[in-house]
Homo-oligomer: A and B are copies of this chain.
Amino acid sequence: MNDEKYTTGSANIGTIHSDLGKNVMAHLKEIAPDLARYITEFFYGEICTRPGLDMKSREIATLASLITLGTAPLQFRAHIYAALNCGCTREEIMEVVLQMSVYAGVPAAMNAMFIVGEVFQDLDNQGEGDP
């Protein structure tokens, strides 16, 4: 275990994610503490703090990957909030989804757009523009 990276990673999860992402990680930690620790240390404590790519671009890449996979709707939902937290506008997120219709196919883009619609509706209901 690498305490320093874990601390950095935990702080980054706090900065990048909204409640949904934090709750997913907390829930994972209860079930599989080692997997949660690896993700915290390796991804949030090391990869996403590397200087070569800004966090906003990292979230765009993550959204594109999750839309293409099509098997991780919960993570996609959490990363919509994360993308907003990292400086993406709602319009940029919708453009990423729209562009994925070409690479991952129309069904993948439609499924992603329905989730985007729900997240934006939730934000509107909370009387907030963006988190």
Inter-chain contacts of A102 with B (CB < 8 A) = 39, 42-43, 47, 105-106
Inter-chain contacts of A38 with B (CB < 8 A) = 42, 46-47, 98, 101
Chain A's interface size range is 35 or more
Indicate how many identical chains form the complex.
Answer: 6
Does A82 belong to the interface (CB within 8 Å)? no
Contact, CB under 8 Å: B32 / A98: yes
Q: Can you add 9 more A-B contacts, CB < 8 Å, to A38-B42, A70-B71?
A: A28-B114, A31-B114, A38-B101, A53-B91, A57-B96, A60-B60, A64-B68, A66-B103, A68-B69
30 contacts across the A-B interface (CB closer than 8 A) = A31-B114, A31-B116, A31-B117, A32-B94, A35-B98, A35-B113, A43-B102, A47-B99, A47-B102, A52-B89, A53-B92, A53-B95, A53-B96, A60-B61, A60-B64, A61-B61, A61-B96, A61-B100, A62-B103, A65-B100, A65-B103, A66-B103, A69-B104, A71-B107, A72-B107, A75-B107, A75-B110, A102-B106, A103-B106, A104-B105
